[in-house]
Amino acid sequence: MSGEITLTLPVPPSVNRYWRHISINGQPRTLISEAGREYKRTVAILGCASSPMYGPVSLAYFVYRPRKSGDLDNYLKGLLDALKGVAFIDDAQVVELHGYLRDDKANPRVNVIIQEAAK
């Protein structure tokens, strides 16, 4: 197991586009949207060279958004969901989190650094 995973990923869909809330036989359900499923596939492909970490992890993420729109935390849930099984087994392993918001119209992206956390 490596002590650090560094990935450059596309900017995830907003929380409002990542999940869909529907009703099946009167029961509310939350499903990952097509945009969310496509993002997860992309992250899996870009992260395929790494093995998921099994212990507690620290995660730093740098969002370079294409325009001055969207809150930093709006990117987090979809990003963590997409990293499950790629960088770690479950997002419950994330015990430390650092987020940074930048603007880069020419090259929007998310740089992610996942490290083993101190026990």
Residues 6+ apart with CB under 8 A from 41: none
Q: Helix, strand or coil for residue 75?
A: helix
Cα 54 to Cα 43: distance, rounded to the nearest angstrom: 18
Q: With 80 as the cut, is the pLDDT of residue 2 above it?
A: no
Residue 104 lies in domain: 4-116
Q: With 90 as the cut, is the pLDDT of residue 86 above it?
A: yes
Q: Check which CATH number belongs to the domain holding 104 and give it.
A: 3.30.1330.70
Q: Quote the pLDDT of residue 12.
A: 93
Q: Quote the pLDDT of residue 18.
A: 82
The model's pTM is 0.87
- Total count of domains within the chain: 1
Q: Quote the pLDDT of residue 42.
A: 96
